[in-house]
A = this chain, B = another copy of it.
Amino acid sequence: MELKVIAHIENGFGSKFGIPRQSGLCGIKSRIVFEPEYASPEAFRGIEQFSHLFVIWGFSEGFAAGLSREFSPTVRPPRLGGNKRLGVFATRSPNRPNPIGLSVVKLLDIGRGYLTVSGGDMANGTPVYDIKPYLRYADCVPEAVSGYADAHSADRLKAEIPDALGRTLPEAVIKDIKEILENDPRPQYRDDGREYFFEYAGYDFGFRVEDGRAILGHAEKKK
């Protein structure tokens, strides 16, 4: 089957680094901007009745680079430290036969040709293939057991933004950066004390993790 791109994600993430590991973990906003063909207000009639949506999207370039390789039946989830192998169908890893991502997002606002949502885990520019309403009676399974993914789901870091850096940043960016840091955006859970980098809202950020704290050490406006 050939999928048509119906929309793109617009948000502050400049690369795949810093993006939450799953949807719903933080409240950072994204816009889903529809292609002209699908942007008619008619196509959204009734969507305001739903608090949450599914987004079906494509893992973009950074990830897709790995996709020309042959199919590997196992992957190393970052959540398990990156040194334990699990079957690809037991993970949400991007290295899967079809590079499709699935996220639950909160619907905040309906614009002309776009939807504003929060809770996404998609990079800026991500292609979108479908939007579906989240149906509580079918899609919410409170008794679901999620094995290794349950164990660390509530783990959060304490975000620390030194005053000297905080003074150089807009309020709205500080709020988002705190959420990003709390969700531990390190690609793997290694306690090696190294500095990690990501881009957000036109800035380059760097941080270190020490004793459960994520300490911002670098913030610079991109040129």
Please give the residue numbers on chain A whose beta carbons come within 8 Å of chain B beta carbons, in ascending order: 1-6, 22-25, 37-38, 40-54, 56, 58, 71, 73-74, 85-92, 96-100, 102, 104, 127, 129-150, 153-154
Contacts and interface: CB of A to CB of B under 8 A. Distances in A.
Nearest to A6: B97
Contacts of A89: 43-44, 47, 53, 131-133
A149 B140 CA distance: 13
A130 B96 CA distance: 8
Contacts of A46: 86-87, 90-91, 147-148
Contact of A40 (B73, B85, B134): B73
Given A46-B86, A90-B47, A150-B137, A129 B40 contact: no
A167 to B, nearest CB: 35
B150 A54 contact: no
A144 B134 CA distance: 8
B44 A143 contact: no
Contacts of A140: 139-142, 144
A72 to B, nearest CB: 9
A43 B85 CA distance: 10
B23 A97 contact: no
A22 to B, nearest CB: 4
B44 A87 contact: yes
B149 A133 contact: yes
Nearest to A93: B132
A129 B25 CA distance: 26
Contact of A139 (B3, B51, B104, B130): B104
A97 B144 contact: no
